[in-house]
Amino acid sequence: MAIEISRLRRQFGQHVALDDLNLTIAEGEFVAVLGPSGSGKTSLLRILAGLDHPDAGTVEREGEDLLALDARRRGVGLVFQHYALFPHMTVAQNVAFGLRVRPWGLRPRAAAIKARVQELLKRVELDGFAGRYPAQLSGGQRQRVALARALAIEPTLLLLDEPFGALDAQVRGNLRRWLRELHRSLGITTLFVTHDQDEALEMADRVVVMNRGRIEQIGTPEQIHRYPATPFASRFIARSQVLSGYLEDKVIHVLGRSWPLEHDGIDPTLAIAVHVRPEDIVPVCHQDEGWSARLLSVRHVAGTARVALHVSGLDEPLDAVWTERDWLRHGVAVGERINVHFQTLTVFAEGGEGRLHARIDVHPPHATSPVTVGPWRRLEA
C-alpha cells in the first residue's frame, strides 16, 4: 500500500536526525534509502516500524495514521543487518515467531502456521532447513530466514536495514538479484536502507539520497546517476570530484581554460562548483590536447583500469576509470605524463537565485570550444 511521509522530524538532544522529511512511496514500489553513516536512514526505518516516535510529522498508509498504531498492528516486516534470529530456536520456529506473537484474533491456528512456514521456506529456497539452528547456517542463509520471518505476517510494508551489510561481496551480489526477483513476484512495498551506491542503483525503482537528516534528491537510478541534483549527490552517487572553477563576466574558467556561458538572465557573479565524474576523465592522444596529468597509480578491477592522476593546477589527485582498451592504447607507466580530457562537467551554482545546475559537454577533445552548456536547471530548495 502507498505510504505518505510528511514533515517528519526526529531530534536527539541538539542533534537533528530527521529534518522535515517528505516522501511518498507508491504501492508495490522498491525504494532504496541511500546515505552516508549518520544521515538518518535507520532513524526513519525505526519510526516506520514503530520502534521509535517522531517529534513531529505524519505517516499515512492509504489515509490511515500509521503512527497511531502499535508496532505489532502496523503490518510491517523488518530485517536488520545483524541477524536478529533467535539462536535457541530452529529455522521453522524463527519463521513462525512473527505469527505466534500476533495479537489474539490475528493469530492463525497451529496447522495454518505450519503450512505458512513451509511455504515461506520454499519461497526463500530453504526448504529442508526447517530443523536447523541459526548457528548451522551461512550468513546468506540466515538473512533469507530473517526475510522469511519478516514475510510471515504478510506485511504490507517491508523494511530492510542494510540486510546484506555483513556478507561478503559475492553472496551479497547473489542475494541482491534474488531479492529483486522475490520483490517482483510478491510486489510488497519495500524500503531498503543502504550506504552502498551500487546496491541502491542496481536494485531500486527509486532512490532517496539522504544527507544530515534531509533528502537531497529522489529519482530513478538513471536520473540520480546522470543528473545529480546537488553537489552532495554528485559526489556521493556519481563519485564526482571537484575542479577549481569560477564564473566571471559570463565566462566560466576551469583549470586555465575558459568558455562563455549561456546565462538566461542568471546573475553572472554566482559562486560555482565544477564537478567531473571518474568516467568522464579520458586519456587523449596528442600533447596539445586537453589537460596535462601525471599517472600516480593504476589498479585493474573488473575489466577497467582505475587510475589516479595528478592534474596540473589541482592540489588533490583525481580518480579516473578507463576501459582496459584505452589503458593499453595509451601505454602510460606510473610516473609518466599523459594528457586527459574532461568530457562532461557539471556546474552547480548557488546564490540569491537559489540553487542551479548546468551540464557542460566539452567536445571535441582537442578544442576549448565549441562547448554545449546547460540548460540551467533550477533545483528544489
Give contact residues for ligand ATP (rule: CB under 6 A): 12, 15, 17, 35, 37-43, 195
CB of residue 209 to ligand ATP, shortest distance in Å: 12
Pick between residue 230 and residue 339 the one whose CB is nearest to ligand ATP. Answer: 230
- At its nearest, how many Å lie between ligand ATP and the CB of residue 93? 29
Question: Taking the complex as a whole, how short is the minimal distance between the CB of residue 238 and ligand ATP, in angstroms?
Answer: 20
Q: Which is nearer to ligand ATP, 12 or 104 (CB)?
A: 12
CB of 195 to ligand ATP, least distance (A): 5
Q: How far is the CB of 206 from ligand ATP (least distance, A)?
A: 18
Q: Which is nearer to ligand ATP, 40 or 245 (CB)?
A: 40
Please say which residue, 206 or 330, places its beta carbon nearer to ligand ATP. Answer: 206
Convert the chain into a string of H (helix), E (strand) and C (coil). CCEEEEEEEEEECCEEEEEEEEEEECCCCEEEEECCCCCCHHHHHHHHHCCCCCCEEEEEECCEEHHHCCHHHCCEEEECCCCCCCCCCCHHHHHHHHHHCCCCCCCCCHHHHHHHHHHHHHHCCCCCCCCCCHHHCCHHHHHHHHHHHHHHCCCCEEEEECCCCCCCHHHHHHHHHHHHHHHHHHCCEEEEEECCHHHHHHHCCEEEEEECCEEEEEECHHHHHHCCCCHHHHHHHCCCEEECEEEECCEEEECCEEEECCCCCCCCCCEEEEEECHHHEEECCCCCCCEEEEEEEEEEECCEEEEEEEECCCCCCEEEEEEHHHHHHHCCCCCCEEEEEECEEEEEEEECCEEEEEEEEECCCCCCCCEEECCCEECCC
With respect to ligand ATP, which residue has the nearer C-beta, 144 or 195?
Answer: 195
What minimum distance in Å lies between the beta carbon of 80 and ligand ATP?
10
Pick between residue 38 and residue 351 the one whose CB is nearest to ligand ATP.
38
